[in-house]
Amino acid sequence: MYSKIATRNMRRSVRDYSIYFVTLVFGVCMFYAFNSITQQQTVMEMSEVQNRMLELLSILIGGVSVFIAVILGFLVVYANRYLIRRRKREFAIYLTLGMKRRDVSWIIVLETAIVGLLSLLIGLALGYLLSQALLYVTAALFNVKMDMFTFFFSLEAAYKTILCFALIFLISLVFNVISISRCKLIDLLNAERKSEQVTLRNLPLSIVLFIISIGLIIAAYYLLFDNGLLMLDQEFAASTILVCIGTLLFFYSLSGIMLLVGRKRERFYLKNLNMFITRQLSSKANSAWISISLVCLTLFLALTSTCGGFSLVTVFNDSLERSTYYDASITMHYSNIDEPTKGESASVANGEGQTSDSTRSHQLIADPTEIEAAADDHDMQTALNRMVPNWSSLVETTAQMDYYHSPVTWSDLFAMTDYQLTGLLAQADADSIDLSMVKVSQLNELRALTGKEPILLGNDQFLVWCDFEELKGFWHAFLTQNDSIELFGTSLSPVGTELDTTLGQTATSTMDTGVLVVPDEVIPDNLQIDYSLLNVMFSGERADIDPLFNEAISSTFGDFSMRRDVSWPATYMVTAEGIYEQSTGLTAVISYLAIYIGVILLIACAAILALQQLTEAADNIRRYELLTQIGTDRKLLSNALARQIGVYFMLPLTIALCHSIVATIVLQDVIHMFGHLDITWPLVITIALALVIYGGYFLMTCYSSRSLVFNQRR
């Protein structure tokens, strides 16, 4: 009997439920699909690096899922409260007919169970499809061969999804039942008849608060620009708090401002249904300012994290092709790796991420490593050829570059120009770090490796070699403003203002901040080498040789990442393939997270706005009826409805966009450090995502409320 009532109710209020239902299905679908990613390695053959990346992704998604579950839980409870409120009168009639409260609650329980079960089933089915799609995406990203018809269903993710949503439904059920059993019959009966009392905010107060809110938001922006997202310190905290308070105040005072501005512009206000729309919106903003603010801040989070995530991915992948020209790069550091480094900022400016204490260069003379190296005349190729099996058959050509400490420090250089560094570079503590220098003959060898002509350098000339995008401006300024520099008693003049941009080594991004290239004879014979780099080109296809080469190297030297001592002739090695694997793994991790967080948050926001506007339309049926009665065009009316919903959707989005743009600009400066950033692609994806989800919900709301308002009549 009760289940009959429940199912019949469901069918009748399909319109009310449709948006809620769609949202639930989406939520379940996303939740399952992204949690299933962690199980993908069960059906894919992956390398160790890829496996590690997937593990990292699992941990991150596990953490994020808790956050997502809380958001979805909040959404479900909120939606249910709205839907119950819509039907208070219906429940009141049950009660007046003599049904027990327990029975009415039972009806609600059944309804929740039906909706929950259906959405779980459909959501899981869609989630299965999505996870299958994600499987192919991962396979493509990781370049893993996989059977097209691999069946992939993650029981673990399914359990997790069911458990999580069952809990959410249970919580919302408790809320529903409490709200029904607490209600007085008289309130239930009169729930629909209660005419809205327009409580207007004090107008002068609204204006003052509005101005304050704008001020707070601008102050927050300023603090964020100043902070530059470099340190999560008090300034950052202050900016966050200010922007939150500013947003809340903004929406609190908005209803008054909206009316004020609307009424001031008489030509706008007294046209068509504009004053009706303005009043409706203002009264809605008046009562729902808290949820609008929360939606706005959540949207901001969604947009920024999605855009930021994709920006990172773009940067990684953009510079990758250029920065991995050499098949492998082997490093020989003559100093102990365990020695304390100078901290993050110093290593950025130094480029190689290694300390270079000038006082150390002479202490290493008696070092056994140095003696070994000297025996091979510091030639890595000779040593490797002797020690590594099959070296000569695997390697086609090599070029070695020895880096020396120059007597010039970065602070000397900065003093020689009026160029102002910006962003992160300006804050780097570069004072005591000295510039590296190399011999021009070695640079020419490296240039030969990349197919470039050798450079001819006169006895009194030098060249700057820099492949780091951000510092090119500085070097140009330096070369145009200075005629010469002094090195070991020789005065050298720059050969033109052009930089040499030959890639220094294979890495995740180009990192050489600047090296002086000098005639070979300028460097004293007894000067200690800081470190050497051997760039290697394989004798065949990269993909074929790389595994063999890796095996040969590791059979000789073991795992570099585990070693802490210095030994001739290799202390570290990267291969292009390894970097690609790592980078695609990172791409997958960040993209998945960005989409997961972005989509769920967008859905949650849009669903809340949609439900609010739907209930608004339902509450307003009488008003629309009246407007029709006094002869308002149906076209005008549905137009007004769409505009009302449109403005309501746009309000939080606009402010969220403002916040996001500022945050993205700041983020962009940070991301720039990792390479050249073309923001177009991340922006397009973010906007497309927002447009599809937000726009989709907007259209759904328009359609639903239109049929709600117009079909009620006749």
Partner 1 sequence: MTTVLECQSIEKYYGSKSTVTKALDNISFSVDKGEFVGIMGASGSGKTTLLNCISTIDSVTAGRILVNGVDITQLKSSKLSEFRRNELGFIFQDFNLLDTLTGFENIALALTITKVPAMMINSQVQKVANQLQISDVLDKFPYQMSGGQKQRTAAARALITDPSLILADEPTGALDSKSARMLLESMEKMNAQNDATILMVTHDSFAASYCHRILFLRDGKIFNEVVRGDMSRKDFFERIIDVISFLGGSNSDVL
List of residues contacting partner 1 (CB under 8 A): 195-198, 266-276, 279-280, 283, 623, 626-634, 636
Q: Which is nearer to partner 1, 532 or 620 (CB)?
A: 620
Q: Which is nearer to partner 1, 545 or 640 (CB)?
A: 640
Query: At closest approach, how far in Å is the CB of 421 from partner 1?
Result: 57
Question: Rounded to an integer, what is the distance from CA 42 to the centroid of its chain?
Answer: 27
CA-nearest of 9, 15, 13, 14 to 703 is: 15
* Structure letter (DSSP) for residue 450: T
Q: Which is nearer to partner 1, 274 or 358 (CB)?
A: 274
Query: At closest approach, how far in Å is the CB of 128 from partner 1?
Result: 47
Q: Which is nearer to partner 1, 8 or 265 (CB)?
A: 265
Query: At closest approach, how far in Å is the CB of 198 from partner 1?
Result: 5
Q: Which is nearer to partner 1, 292 or 605 (CB)?
A: 292
**Cα-Cα end-to-end distance for the chain:** 31
Query: At closest approach, how far in Å is the CB of 620 from partner 1?
Result: 9
- Residue that has been written with the tokens 């509005």 in this structure: 210
Q: Which is nearer to partner 1, 20 or 624 (CB)?
A: 624
Query: At closest approach, how far in Å is the CB of 612 from partner 1?
Result: 16
Q: Which is nearer to partner 1, 145 or 714 (CB)?
A: 714
Q: Do the Cβ atoms of 456 and 535 come closer than 8 Å?
A: no
Q: Do the Cβ atoms of 262 and 268 come closer than 8 Å?
A: yes
Query: At closest approach, how far in Å is the CB of 631 from partner 1?
Result: 3
Q: 686-690: which pairs have CB atoms within 8 A and are 24 or more residues apart?
A: 686/303, 686/306, 686/307, 686/310, 686/598, 689/306, 689/595, 689/598, 689/599, 689/602, 690/302, 690/303, 690/602, 690/653
The residue type found at 652 is P
- Measured between alpha carbons, how far is residue 1 from residues 4, 30, 106, 152, 294 in Å? 5, 35, 11, 41, 41
Query: At closest approach, how far in Å is the CB of 199 from partner 1?
Result: 10
Q: Is 153 exposed, middle or buried (0-12, 13-18, 19+ CB in 10 A)?
A: middle
Which strands sit side by side in the sheet containing 434-439, from one edge to the other? Answer: 485-487, 490-494, 461-465, 515-518, 434-439, 395-409, 529-538, 328-333, 572-575
Q: Which is nearer to partner 1, 166 or 198 (CB)?
A: 198
Could you tell me where the DSSP H helices lie in 508-575? 542-557
Instruction: Return d(Cα 246, Cα 218) in angstroms, integer.
Output: 9
Q: 569: cis peptide before it, omega within 30°?
A: yes
Query: At closest approach, how far in Å is the CB of 89 from partner 1?
Result: 18
Q: Which is nearer to partner 1, 58 or 287 (CB)?
A: 287
Instruction: Return d(Cα 289, Cα 708) in angstroms, integer.
Output: 25
Report which secondary-structure segment, H or E, holds 367.
none
Q: Which is nearer to partner 1, 106 or 269 (CB)?
A: 269
Q: Which is nearer to partner 1, 199 or 526 (CB)?
A: 199
Helices 101-142, 155-182: inter-axial angle, 10-degree rounding: 150
Query: At closest approach, how far in Å is the CB of 707 from partner 1?
Result: 17
Query: At closest approach, how far in Å is the CB of 635 from partner 1?
Result: 9
Structure token pair of residue 485 = 């520099």
Instruction: Return d(Cα 542, Cα 321) in angstroms, integer.
Output: 13
- Measured between alpha carbons, how far is residue 413 from residues 141, 163, 432, 433, 641 in Å? 43, 62, 11, 11, 65
